[in-house]
Structure formats: structure tokens, C-alpha cells
Structure 1
Amino acid sequence: MYHPLGQEEYALVRDSGNRRWPPRLPEQPIFYPVTNQRYAEEIASRWNVKDSGLGYVAQFEVRAAFVERDAIQNVGGAHHTEWWIPAEELDALNDTIAGLNDIIGQFDARPTEHET
């Protein structure tokens, strides 16, 4: 599983020792880990950077029994696939994480050659 995140969520994950995802905000009724790195990088580089100046991609594993019960949702192109985990089930998901939430990518809003 992969999850794109911004600066604030990254800080909360880091504070947990990279072991848990923080509770969802009231306006976030679902936690949406994505199925592939490409999609996670698109979200982190386009949306998280725009919203918070930095975007990260985390990779993590959970026990198969937890995610096998949920259908993978396609939300656009062929690689735009994700799970929809209700916010109230996030603690249960956190309890099934095997290992750490590894940060495997970071994106920022550095100016391009044409902007300097």
C-alpha cells in the first residue's frame, strides 16, 4: 500500500515512530491508501505540494485479511486505484501494519529553470 501525505500528516506519522496513521480530520471520512507508487507520487507532487509546500509518499504493508474485505476503487485512469477505509476503522488498520510506514519519496515546490 502507498499513501501520499503533506507536511502536517508527515509530522504526525513521524511522531508515532512511523508506526501509525493519525486520526482523520472531520472533513476526511475515509483514509485512502492507494495501490501503486505512480498514483501516490502524482497526488503527493500535485496536490500535497500545492496545499502544504511539501509532499511525501509512504509505503506500508498490512495483513492481507484486513484489505481483502474491501474492494479496490477505481477513481479515474487505469492506475488511479485505492482502498476506502472508513475513518472509524483506522485504528484497526494501524493495528495490522507490518513494520513501518516507510517514506519513499519527497516532493517540493522548487522553482523550475524557467522560474529562476
Structure 2
Amino acid sequence: MAVSETTTLWRPVGPEELELIRQTGMKAFPPRLPEQPIFYPVTTEEYAVKIARDWNVKASGSGFVTKFEVENTYLAAFDIQEAGGREHLEYWIPAEDLPNFNAAIVGRISVTQEFP
């Protein structure tokens, strides 16, 4: 059985972040703001849906779930973090390492769900 070289991750985003992702040709996530010390992609689409639907919609009027592949060799440097429950698993990527994270994305970022 072949081992995958990438891991599928998801990221819930609001409309402003999605626009910045679109400006990269759907290839990268934008730099973090000063008050955002970590970038947290999540490990399941269900968790991303919950954040996009319940948090992003309230904060900005709409929420989106993005999906993308990241090289396993990059992710190996990070532990999966539990954020409030066993079903809430995410990677914590330091903001200053986001350019390296973006370089480890394989293919394009896609939008899988949208919430008005």
C-alpha cells in the first residue's frame, strides 16, 4: 500500500481572507495580522464547517471552507493540537513560518463550502 506524500487540510475563512487567497491564484494564504501569532489549518472538513458556519458568518456575514494538500515532510515538524475537544484538531503554524507552509502546499486551494 502506497503512503501518501501529502495530507489534506482545511481552513475556514471569511470573505476578506478568501479574496486575498484568490489574489494569489488560489496558491497561498495571506500573512497573519500582528494580533494573529499562529495560522491554524484543521484536520477535518467537519471542524472547518463548524468554524466557517458558526464563527465566520457571525463575524463577517459569510464563511467559506477551503481545502488543500500539504507536503508531509513539512507537516512532520509540527504536532497536531487539540483545540477544545477530540474532534477539534489543528496544526499550529507560527505566523513567521507561513511562507514555508505556503511553499509546501501542493496544487491549488479550493473552496468546498460556502455559508451566507
1:17-96 matched pairs, under 5 angstroms: 17-96=25-104
In the alignment, the residues of structure 2 paired with residue 86 and residue 98 of structure 1 have an alpha-carbon distance, to the nearest angstrom, of 20
Give 1 or 2: higher strand fraction.
Answer: 2
In the alignment, the residues of structure 1 paired with residue 67 and residue 56 of structure 2 have an alpha-carbon distance, to the nearest angstrom, of 16
1:5 counterpart = 2:13? yes
In the alignment, the residues of structure 2 paired with residue 85 and residue 13 of structure 1 have an alpha-carbon distance, to the nearest angstrom, of 17
What is the CA distance between 1:28 and its match in structure 2?
0.4
Give structure 1 stretches of 5+ with no counterpart: 109-116
The alignment's TM-score, normalised by the length of structure 1, stands at: 0.91
1:99 counterpart = 2:103? no
SS at match of 2:110: strand
Deviations 1:42-83 (A, max 9, x none): 000011000110100000011101111100000122210000
RMSD (Å) for aligned C-alpha atoms: 0.6
The number of equivalent residue pairs is 108
SS at match of 2:36: coil
After TM superposition, what 4+ stretches of structure 1 lie above 3 angstroms from structure 2?
A: none
The alignment's TM-score, normalised by the length of structure 2, stands at: 0.91
In the alignment, the residues of structure 2 paired with residue 15 and residue 42 of structure 1 have an alpha-carbon distance, to the nearest angstrom, of 25
SS at match of 2:69: strand
